[in-house]
Structure 1
Amino acid sequence: MIRPGWFSVRETGPGVHLLAEPGHVNSYLVLGDSFALLYDTGMGIADIGREVRALTGLPLLVVNSHHHYDHRGGNASLSGEAEEFAVHAAGAELHGSPAPREWLESYAHIARGLRERYEVFHAADSDAFFLTDSRIEVRPVPELEHWRIEAVRPTRLLHEGDVIDLGGRRLHVLHTPGHSPDGICLWEAETGLLLAGDTLISGTFFAHVPGADLPAFAGSTRRLAGLPVTTALLGHNLRHRETADFVSRVADAFERVRDNDTRPSRSADMFGTAVWRHDFDGFAVLTAFDEPPAVRP
């Protein structure tokens, strides 16, 4: 039984709501005059459609930032409600398979471990700093025996330069490969709002997973740093909202990693995969652990 409050929902800008699964994935609902757009649908652990319906009765468009399971987990629960499921054309075939049972079981184990670590952190925090509250509480993990992430066929393929008109606001599609070949950000030029998916996160950037491309990641983040961003909304972690300065620092970091201008440490990602970890101020970049990277003297 999933307890109420799995999502942390709040307005994070004019006509933009954060639908966070704290410690996991951040999805965003953007309201126009004629349509609402849901950017990513999260883990599929709880009913994201219920949260959307509580916020708007507008016709709904779903846009997945990329094909990874944790960003399309709620697609199936919206299949009777969403007008469209839009993805980048490079990811059309990548949406064709459900999440394998071993991935779900592995992630469930990770989620429970994350909650345990949060409890230790929260106990220490309550004695001194008071950084945490219910908005960013990593939720207890419900029973996940029947958790599934089904495949949902996209109904619309997006390309670089496409414009999604919601009525009164227009979102431009930016193809930003790097974390995955089909990554897209949505850019509202009039307000400087950037919906960034996993191209920008306030944690560990996965530049080592299948389909990741480090030079492309560096190019995509540098491109975003060239935009007049006022607000960047990020795909993961508790710090969901950042400024242009953060975007620029991420771009600088990726160029340093690409150019072997760091001193990485041996580490592992949350699934236990060996990686090189390149640490920066407030985030880290994980790269494939094959041969030791060349390091400038």
Structure 2
Amino acid sequence: MNDWFTIEKIDDDTYAISEYKHWEETHCYLLNGTKNSLLIDTGLGVGNIKKVVDKLTDLPVKVITTHVHWDHIGGHKYFNDIGVFEAEKDWLKIKFPIPLSSVKMNLLKEPCEFPEYFDMEEYRIFQGEAAFLLHENDIINLGDRNVRVIHTPGHSPGHICLYEESRGYLFTGDLIYEGTLDAFYPSTNPYEFMNSVKKIKELAIKRALPAHHKLNISTDLILEIDKGFTELYEAGKLNQGNGMFFFENFNIHI
């Protein structure tokens, strides 16, 4: 369907749109309802994700931002109806917290066969005003589907997870995935990260859908990450600058 994106079917109404060719291996998610569709994040901005979305739905599309980091808002430029959590509205509208030069360095961090149409010189970080702001426990209604906003700060101040209780889906953003969990930037908070993991641990989750790397992860990973953060906290190590800690299925960088 597209030479950059990979589309995987979660169920008849839900798709993962992934960028496996890049080291970030980002996942965006399209949820189709009866009245409208929801796109969770828009990825790196290397390819035109809207062309993929348009082949999977003809309904109006709302874009929800799990957090305002460059690798999750790259395709926002192709959409108008964009929502962001209130704590990060200024990151989207006024000033992204990382300079463009650093973003480009991250984009090129590992070898990647970018598509021929991609021009690194023209690459820009999305900047614009959100069409609507999100708040804790807001419900996004798609007609026959309801998705709840859960504020899960730590990786960023306005990071959110999205919970579809009827299907047991938790779209975890950068809170839960197999890889290195980052809480070392000045805008991160490892203690809040730990508490956010404890918060979502209490939900009835049948499937955790991450924003990076391996798509099919066990819900037990949530318990493993909770245990990892708790061990670091109890050992007095949950402070920024302490470096990288390695666990079986993930790392924690603080």
- Would you say same fold, with TM above 0.5? yes
Shift of 1:107: 2.0
Q: Which residue of 2 aligns with 1:123?
A: none
Residue aligned with 2:156, SS: coil
Unaligned runs of 5+ in 1: 116-139, 264-273, 288-297
Choose which of 141, 144, 168 in structure 1 pairs with 2:114: 141
Q: C-alpha displacement at 1:44, in angstroms? A: 0.6
**Which residue number in structure 2 is paired with residue 15 of structure 1?**
13
Q: Percent identity?
A: 29
8 Å contact kept, 2:176–2:221: no
Which of 174, 177, 181 is equivalent to 1:198?
174
Amino acid at match of 2:187: G
Q: Please state whether the residue corresponding to 1:199 is helix, strand or coil.
A: coil
CA distance change for structure 1 residues 90 and 68 in 2, over 3 Å: closer, same or farther?
A: same
Task: Report if aligned partners of 2:163, 2:170 keep a CA contact under 8 Å in 1.
Answer: yes
SS in 2 for 1:157: strand
Q: Using the TM superposition, give the Cα deviation of residue 192 of structure 1 relative to its aligned residue in structure 2, in angstroms.
A: 0.8
Of residues 59, 82, 105, the one that matches 1:85 is 82
Quick check: 1:240 aligned with 2:215? yes
Are residues 104 and 261 of structure 1, via their aligned partners in 2, closer, same or farther at CA, if it must alter by over 3 Å?
closer
CA apart distance, 1:60: 0.4
> Pick from 189, 210, 229: which aligns with 1:213?
189
Could you tell me which amino acid in structure 1 is paired with residue 229 of structure 2? F
Distance 1:261-1:244 versus aligned 2 partners, 3 A rule: farther
Alpha-carbon contact 1:230-1:243 (below 8 Å) kept: no
Higher Rg: 1
Within the candidate set 263, 267, 282, 2:249 is matched to: 282
For 1:70 and 1:275, the matched residues in 2 are separated by: 25
Confirm or deny: 8 A CA contact 1:76 1:149 kept in the other structure: no
Residue pair 1:15, 1:31 contacting (<8 A) in 2 also: yes
Pairs within 5 Å for 1:151-166:
151-166=127-142
- Give the aligned residue type for 1:10: E
Matched letter for residue 171 of structure 1:
V
* Structure 2: runs of 5+ lacking an equivalent: none
Give the TM-score normalised by structure 2.
0.90
TM-score (ref. length: structure 1): 0.77
Partner of 1:258: 233
- Alpha-carbon shift at residue 253 of structure 1 (Å): 1.1
> Does the 8 Å CA contact 1:62/1:85 hold for their aligned counterparts?
yes
**CA–CA distance in 2 between the matches of 1:188 and 1:61?**
16
Q: Is the Cα–Cα contact under 8 Å of residues 92 and 126 in structure 2 kept in the other structure?
A: no
1:50 maps to 51
Residues 241-276 of structure 1 show CA distances to partners (whole Å, capped at 9, x for unaligned) of 32321111111111112223779xxxxxxxxxx861
Output the amino acid matched with 2:29. Answer: Y
Q: Which amino acid aligns with 2:225?
A: V
d(CA) in 2 for partners of 1:259, 1:153: 41
Change (3 A) 1:218 1:167: same
In 2, distance between residues paired with 1:33 and 1:219? 35
- Residues 78-118 of structure 1: CA distance to partner in whole angstroms, max 9, x if unpaired? 23xxxx21111111111123673312331232142xx4xxx
The 5-angstrom pairing of residues 94-105 of structure 1 reads 94-96=91-93, 97=95, 100-105=99-104
List per-residue Cα deviations over 1:61-86 (Å, max 9, x = no partner): 0000011111111101223xxxx211
**Alpha-carbon distance in 2 for matches of 1:107, 1:229:** 32
Q: Which moved more, 1:159-168 or 1:8-17?
A: 8-17
